[in-house]
RNA sequence: GCCCGAGUGGUGGAAUGGUAGACACGACGGAUUCAAAAUCCGUUGCCCUUGCGGGCGUGCCGGUUCAAGUCCGGCCUCGGGUACCA
């Protein structure tokens, strides 16, 4: 008997699918459509196990849906713009374009052996001019619709590399590449007006029933709705034009405890003062120093500068609040000005201690509350407190009620109004980078900022590396330095003008690619018919790391595309169902050098916990695969050793899909063994005499229908690991079966069908050997016969007071009364009852008997 | 700090309120073999017991229920997200 040799069969079946044009998606109104999409990869050059897991899950869904009669769209593309390509060009020379496209070729050829049911005819990369040209068209439409605008914004600026840094690129306040002290700089940048949609993006989360609750919560927190009071404080001693300052607070009930105010260094008042007083200007510069990232913020000391200006509390005219400029007040949130209530806010408390400001209690704990001494008193959510300086409402109430009373009181008194605010800020899309989609506008000396004409799109990046026009070896944006690229006539007046050299954030590229897949070659961003037919994505699958930005931006884009007529209204929530899969992890193998420093070793260099030279290896528990820890398992090695089906089977088998799965050599081995067993089983059944009569056909048939039912449920509910467990069990039953050849042949063919979404190559092979019609990928999914899902006789456990004491075999359709009789006649039951008569007997049909003694 | 999640054998994990530990790994025993690999069969939560059998057991404490891993209340631990957000 020959052995299971994946290398001999897998390529053959991939060619068979190609030859039959199996996965090319075409509109067909007669069939229900199903659009399954995995988050497209960045072309780093190598696929990793995470990709294998992600795409295998999508493939299981896609293949399952094909077999249930759906017209499936399952495309793949490349999220191809971004910094790594530019960095590679800087580090090793060459052009980002060449680097990217050659990586795409490599990755495509690594992906194809996985046997994914992808419609490769729709493939595109976001760096294709055909794609980003359409993105520029979208930008222009958004601009016209008022969804994009320009404003000044503070960015992290690396003075050496002369570039803007993302927050993650700022390490200890220094640029990650140059090591230079990062500055905050104000630049004019483009923004998407996502904040206008904050309310809707939040409210619509409710309708996303098939999204993980976790992701919805994260988005809701990110959008960050708050309710509060916006009002004005009159100033004393402020320059002209600043007779009052606008404030926003979510805790208006603490207004009577206000003892100081603080404004942002970027507040108009601060700027006005800085213009006149050099010490204030110096302080404001100090505030702007350092990066805007979380880490830097955390460490920064809270400092303030007393401006000498005071505010008058509208409800307490004798209390003058000194106005500070403070480094912890953000211009971007609220109104850029706050009042401090040190008694009930720890940060305000510390600030007050530092600058010797008054602390005025507004409320105390309801029972034996004492005034604030060593730290601010911040009640818990819903805790009732006793107001000693109430603004409005009863003496004892919760903070929530107090806020309502305070807002109502203030509105009645003509002091401000209750407002809703969102934390969500507009999305800045300008990047001072080369390898991105050029922003299609022109700066004209007379006309100002002018949109490019659509007929001039795409505005292509200059690729002319050969003549040294593009130089990546020196810092800064190469587009800025290009001798001719910027020059263009003004689209409005025709006079010589300059192109914008900023490019778009790569998140823009991935915010609409799902829509482009519905008509990847269209001359417009989308086309009506295809978008209406294919949208929405029925199942989207990807990593949790994109829970906020990518998914929120996509939701914004779908709405913006609807407003500009590029998507139907029904598609403004682009992803009907979302699944976030876990990572593939692996142990880390380490030894130590003479000085005790760790040395990491590749998994393939370690056998039984030892290196080839016998050195014992320390094993560190599973962690995300990373190059630096050398715990990366290369999918290509696994495929060449065991075949793609084994890799696919393994990544689905051991853990629930949403959780991390640990790659283990023994697990991969076990997956291979199982597939070999199924293959041999099929060979054995093929070799049987077709007239062989069996003894237990009915039992095998029942087991088969249970397997159909359980595996179907498993796939439908993303319980791939559970589905695989059932497949193991059914395989064991079939292996031991003494049924007729006919029954066994039906069973192995059904097993192949149930396994085929996971291990398609092997299953095609079995199908062909058993004489199945056509390709298994097109065979209709087997249907479970409900009548066969319940055995004729069942085992029922009997509990006495909830403890299992016996079990009985009864006919499945026996009445409750008869079951009770049999149960009470059981020897073990009689023994346990010891002569007492039961108070009550509960019979759960088909399940259990509980005797209450 | 705030917001989510998760805690089940040696390990990954399974379980519409109804036999806890399916399935897999690992371990142990056996068959086959000159030997090994491969394959196959069996045992495997913990404790007591020769056995029959019994007791305990899903992070901890309490509750609801005939019945709780599952529901409720209160903790503990771990993981993730997030924040000078006024």
pLDDT in tens, A28-67: 999 999 999 999 999 999 999 999 999 999 999 999 999 9
Six token digits for residue A583: 């990572």
Q: Is the CB of A206 under 7 A from strand B?
A: no
Spatial separation of the C-alpha atoms in residues A318 and A620, rounded to whole Å: 65
Q: Choose between A179 and A692: higher pLDDT.
A: A692
Instruction: Tell me what ipTM this predicted complex has.
Output: 0.93
Q: Is the CB of A706 under 7 A from strand B?
A: no
Query: Which nucleotide is the nearest neighbour of A724, by CA and C1'?
Result: B23
Q: Measured in whole angstroms, how far is the alpha carbon of residue A260 from the centre of its chain?
A: 42
Is 90 exceeded by the pLDDT of residue A89?
A: no
Is 60 exceeded by the pLDDT of residue A439?
A: yes
Q: Is the CB of A419 under 7 A from strand B?
A: no
Six token digits for residue A188: 């004019």
Question: Cβ contacts of residue A698 below 8 Å, gap of 6+?
Answer: none
Six token digits for residue A801: 């007071």
- For every residue of A778-810, DSSP letters joined together read GSPPP---GGGSS-SEEEEEEEETTEEEEEEEE
Q: Which long-range contacts (CB under 8 A, 24 or more apart) does A340-343 make?
A: A340/A258, A340/A259, A340/A260, A340/A261, A340/A262, A341/A251, A341/A254, A341/A255, A341/A257, A341/A258, A341/A259, A342/A257, A342/A259, A342/A260, A342/A372, A342/A376, A343/A254, A343/A257, A343/A371, A343/A372, A343/A376, A343/A377
Q: Residue A300: left if φ>0, alpha if ψ -120 to 50, beta else—which one?
A: beta
Per-residue pLDDT at A390: 86
Q: Is the CB of A713 under 7 A from strand B?
A: no
- For every residue of A649-664, DSSP letters joined together read HHHHHSS-TTS-EE--
Per-residue pLDDT at A601: 83
Show the CA angle centred on residue A714, arms to residues A709 and A719, nearest 5°.
165
Spatial separation of the C-alpha atoms in residues A276 and A291, rounded to whole Å: 26
Q: Is the CB of A585 under 7 A from strand B?
A: no
Q: Is the CB of A261 under 7 A from strand B?
A: no
Helix or strand holding residue A185 (H, E): strand A183-192
Question: Cβ contacts of residue A555 below 8 Å, gap of 6+?
Answer: A201, A204, A572, A573, A574
Classify residue A656 as exposed, middle or buried by CB count within 10 Å of its CB (0-12, 13-18, 19+): middle
Contact A675, A645 (CB under 8 A): yes
Query: Which nucleotide is the nearest neighbour of A548, by CA and C1'?
Result: B81
Identify the bridge partners of residue A442 per DSSP, sorted by sequence position.
A450, A499
From the CA of A651 to the C1' of B15: give the distance in Å.
22
Q: If pLDDT is split at 50, 70 and 90, which confidence band does A193 have? A: very high
How large is the average pLDDT for residues A132-145?
97
CA dihedral over A274, A279, A280, A286, signed as positive or negative:
positive
Q: Locate tokens 């130590």: which residue?
A: A592
From the CA of A801 to the C1' of B51: give the distance in Å.
27
Least confident segment among A406-415, A523-532, A687-696: A687-696
DSSP state of A617: -
The beta-strand segments (E) located in A203-250 are 225-236, 244-249
Segment of A156-160, A200-204, A616-620 carrying the highest mean pLDDT: A200-204
Query: How many CB atoms sit inside 10 A of residue A321's CB?
Result: 23
Q: Is the CB of A330 under 7 A from strand B?
A: yes
For strand B, which residues in window 139-198 of chain A come within 7 Å by CB?
A: none
Q: Locate tokens 């593309």: which residue?
A: A77
Q: Is the CB of A329 under 7 A from strand B?
A: yes
From the CA of A666 to the C1' of B44: give the distance in Å.
19
Query: Which nucleotide is the nearest neighbour of A347, by CA and C1'?
Result: B84
State residue A58 phi and psi, 5-degree precision: -60, -40
Q: Is the CB of A249 under 7 A from strand B?
A: yes
The string of pLDDT tens digits covering residues A580-590 is 988 888 888 88
Least confident segment among A286-300, A446-460, A663-677, A755-769: A286-300
Bond prior to A458 in cis (omega within 30° of 0)? yes
From the CA of A584 to the C1' of B58: give the distance in Å.
26
Per-residue pLDDT at A295: 46
Per-residue pLDDT at A294: 46
Per-residue pLDDT at A465: 56
Query: Which nucleotide is the nearest neighbour of A849, by CA and C1'?
Result: B18
Q: If pLDDT is split at 50, 70 and 90, which confidence band does A168 have? A: low
The string of pLDDT tens digits covering residues A689-747 is 888 888 889 889 999 999 999 999 999 999 999 999 999 999 999 998 889 999 999 99
Q: Please write down the HEC assignment for all residues of A64-113.
A: HHHHCCCEEECCCCECCCCHHHHHHHHHHCCCHHHHHHHHHHHHHHHHHH
pLDDT above 70: percentage of residues in chain A: 96
Per-residue pLDDT at A840: 85
Considering only CA atoms, which of A715, A680, A703, A718 is closest in space to residue A750? A703
Query: Which nucleotide is the nearest neighbour of A220, by CA and C1'?
Result: B3
Considering only CA atoms, which of A378, A125, A352, A387 is closest in space to residue A253? A387
The number of CA neighbours under 13 Å toward the Cβ of A152 is: 5
From the CA of A148 to the C1' of B84: give the distance in Å.
29
How large is the average pLDDT for residues A800-819?
84
State residue A302 phi and psi, 5-degree precision: -85, 115
The string of pLDDT tens digits covering residues A200-240 is 999 999 889 889 888 998 899 889 888 889 999 899 988 88
Per-residue pLDDT at A318: 85
Considering only CA atoms, which of A827, A672, A848, A839 is closest in space to residue A762? A672
Residues in chain A: 853
From the CA of A316 to the C1' of B18: give the distance in Å.
66
How large is the average pLDDT for residues A432-450?
94
Mean pLDDT of chain A, nearest integer:
88
Q: Which residue is nearest to nucleotide B22 (CA to C1')?
A: A725
Largest pairwise CA distance in chain A: 108
Q: Measured in whole angstroms, how far is the alpha carbon of residue A659 from the centre of its chain?
A: 14
Query: Which nucleotide is the nearest neighbour of A805, by CA and C1'?
Result: B19
Query: Which nucleotide is the nearest neighbour of A608, by CA and C1'?
Result: B26
Query: Which nucleotide is the nearest neighbour of A326, by CA and C1'?
Result: B84
C-alpha distances out from residue A453 to A101, A133, A444, Å:
29, 12, 14
For strand B, which residues in window 794-813 of chain A come within 7 Å by CB?
A: 795, 797, 799, 801-805, 807
How large is the average pLDDT for residues A155-167?
76
Measured N-to-C along each axis, helices A268-276 and A278-288 cross at an angle, to the nearest 10 degrees, of 130
Q: Is the CB of A816 under 7 A from strand B?
A: no
Strand order in the sheet with A33-38: A71-73, A33-38, A539-543, A578-581
From the CA of A665 to the C1' of B38: give the distance in Å.
17
Bond prior to A538 in cis (omega within 30° of 0)? no
Q: Which residue is nearest to nucleotide B1 (CA to C1')?
A: A346
From the CA of A65 to the C1' of B14: give the distance in Å.
26
Query: Which nucleotide is the nearest neighbour of A831, by CA and C1'?
Result: B53
Per-residue pLDDT at A298: 53
Is 90 exceeded by the pLDDT of residue A371?
A: no
How large is the average pLDDT for residues A542-570?
92
Six token digits for residue A701: 């048939």
Three-state secondary structure call for residue A829:
helix
Q: Is the CB of A227 under 7 A from strand B?
A: no
From the CA of A826 to the C1' of B53: give the distance in Å.
17
Strand order in the sheet with A384-387: A363-365, A384-387, A396-398
Considering only CA atoms, which of A248, A260, A254, A261 is closest in space to residue A406? A254
Is 80 exceeded by the pLDDT of residue A373?
A: no
Six token digits for residue A524: 């417009």
Per-residue pLDDT at A293: 47
From the CA of A842 to the C1' of B3: give the distance in Å.
43
Spatial separation of the C-alpha atoms in residues A646 and A662, rounded to whole Å: 15
Identify the bridge partners of residue A398 per DSSP, sorted by sequence position.
A384
Six token digits for residue A265: 């260094």
State residue A755 phi and psi, 5-degree precision: -85, -20
Q: Which bases on strand B have an atom closer than 7 Å to a protein beta carbon?
A: 2-5, 12-16, 18-20, 22-26, 38-41, 54-55, 66-68, 80-86
Per-residue pLDDT at A171: 64
Contact A56, A40 (CB under 8 A): no
Per-residue pLDDT at A92: 82
Q: Is the CB of A826 under 7 A from strand B?
A: no
Describe chain A by its helix, strand, coil percentages, rounded to 5.
40, 20, 40
Per-residue pLDDT at A468: 56
Per-residue pLDDT at A133: 97
Considering only CA atoms, which of A571, A600, A573 is closest in space to residue A588? A600
């Amino acid at each position: 008997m020959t052995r299971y040799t994946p290398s001999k069969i897998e390529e053959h079946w991939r060619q068979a699918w190609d030859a039959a044009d199996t996965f090319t998606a075409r509109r067909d109104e007669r069939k229900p459509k199903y659009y399954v999409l995995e988050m497209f990869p960045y072309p780093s050059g190598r696929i990793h196990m995470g990709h294998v897991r992600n795409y295998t899950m999508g493939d299981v869904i896609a293949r399952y849906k094909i077999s249930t009669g759906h017209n499936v769209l399952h495309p793949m593309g490349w999220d191809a713009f971004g910094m790594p390509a530019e960095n590679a060009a800087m580090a090793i020379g060459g052009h980002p374009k060449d680097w990217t496209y050659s990586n795409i070729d490599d990755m495509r050829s690594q992906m194809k052996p996985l046997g994914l049911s992808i419609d490769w005819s729709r493939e595109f990369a976001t760096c294709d001019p055909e794609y980003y040209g359409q993105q520029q068209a979208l930008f222009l439409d958004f601009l016209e619709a008022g969804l994009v605008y320009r404003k000044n914004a503070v960015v992290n600026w690396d003075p050496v590399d002369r570039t803007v840094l993302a927050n993650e690129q700022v390490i200890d306040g220094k640029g990650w590449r140059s090591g230079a002290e990062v500055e905050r700089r104000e630049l004019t940048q483009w923004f998407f007006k996502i904040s206008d949609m904050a309310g809707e993006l939040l409210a619509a989360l409710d309708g996303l029933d098939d999204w993980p609750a976790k992701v919805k919560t994260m988005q809701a927190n990110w959008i960050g709705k708050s309710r509060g009071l916006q009002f004005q404080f009159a100033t004393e001693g402020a320059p002209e034009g600043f007779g009052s300052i606008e404030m926003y607070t979510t805790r208006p009930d603490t207004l009577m405890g206000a003892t100081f105010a603080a404004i942002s260094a970027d507040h108009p008042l601060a700027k006005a003062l800085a213009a006149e007083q050099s010490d204030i200007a110096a302080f404001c510069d100090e505030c702007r120093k350092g990066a805007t990232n979380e880490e830097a913020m955390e460490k920064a000391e809270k400092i303030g500068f007393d401006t000498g200006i005071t505010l008058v509390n509208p409800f307490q005219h004798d209390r003058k609040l000194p106005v500070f400029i403070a480094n912890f007040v953000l211009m971007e949130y609220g109104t850029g000005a706050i009042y401090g209530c040190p008694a009930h806010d720890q940060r305000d408390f510390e600030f007050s201690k530092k600058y010797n400001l008054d602390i005025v209690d507004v409320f105390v704990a309801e029972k034996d509350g004492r005034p604030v001494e060593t730290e601010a008193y911040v009640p818990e959510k819903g805790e009732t407190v006793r107001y000693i300086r109430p603004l409005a409402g009863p003496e004892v109430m919760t903070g929530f009620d107090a806020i309502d009373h305070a807002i109502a009181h203030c509105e009645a008194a003509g002091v401000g109004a209750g407002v809703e605010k969102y934390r969500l800020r507009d999305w800045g899309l300008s990047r001072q980078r080369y390898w991105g989609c050029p922003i299609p506008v022109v700066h004209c000396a007379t006309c100002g900022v002018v949109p490019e004409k659509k007929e001039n799109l795409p505005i292509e990046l200059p690729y002319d590396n050969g003549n040294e026009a593009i130089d990546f070896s020196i810092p800064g944006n190469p587009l800025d330095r290009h001798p001719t690229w910027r020059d263009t006539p003004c689209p409005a007046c025709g006079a010589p003008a300059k192109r914008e050299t900023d490019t778009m954030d790569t998140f823009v590229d991935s915010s609409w690619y799902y829509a482009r897949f519905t008509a990847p070659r269209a001359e417009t961003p989308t086309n009506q018919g295809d978008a209406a037919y294919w949208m929405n994505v029925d199942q989207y699958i990807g990593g949790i790391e994109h829970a906020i930005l990518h998914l929120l931006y996509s939701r914004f884009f779908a709405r913006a595309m609807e407003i500009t007529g590029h998507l139907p209204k029904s598609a403004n929530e682009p992803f009907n169902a979302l699944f976030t899969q876990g990572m593939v992890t692996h142990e880390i193998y380490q030894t130590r050098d003479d000085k005790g420093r760790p040395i990491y070793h590749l998994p393939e260099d370690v056998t039984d916990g030892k290196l080839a030279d016998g050195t014992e290896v320390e094993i560190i528990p599973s962690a995300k695969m990373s190059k630096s820890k050398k715990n990366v398992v290369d999918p290509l090695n696994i495929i060449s050793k065991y075949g793609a089906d084994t890799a696919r089977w393994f990544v689905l088998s051991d853990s629930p899909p949403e959780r991390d799965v640990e790659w283990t050599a023994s697990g991969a081995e076990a997956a291979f063994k199982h597939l070999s067993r199924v293959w041999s089983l099929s060979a054995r059944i093929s070799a049987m005499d077709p007239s062989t009569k069996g003894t237990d056909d009915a039992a095998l048939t029942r087991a088969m229908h249970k397997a159909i039912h359980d595996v179907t449920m498993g796939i439908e509910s993303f319980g791939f690991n559970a589905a695989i467990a059932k497949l193991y069990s059914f395989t064991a039953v079939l292996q031991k079966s003494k049924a007729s050849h006919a029954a066994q042949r039906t069973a192995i063919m059904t097993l192949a069908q149930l396994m085929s979404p996971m291990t398609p190559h092997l299953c095609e092979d079995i199908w062909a050997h058993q004489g199945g019609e056509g390709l298994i990928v097109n065979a209709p999914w087997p249907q479970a016969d409900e009548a066969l899902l319940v055995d004729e006789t069942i085992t029922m456990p009997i509990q006495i007071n909830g403890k299992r004491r016996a079990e009985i075999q009864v006919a499945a359709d026996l009445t409750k009364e008869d079951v009770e009789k049999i149960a009470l006649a059981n020897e073990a039951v009689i023994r346990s009852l010891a002569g007492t008569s039961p108070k009550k007997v509960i019979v759960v049909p088909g399940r259990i008997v509980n005797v209450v003694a």
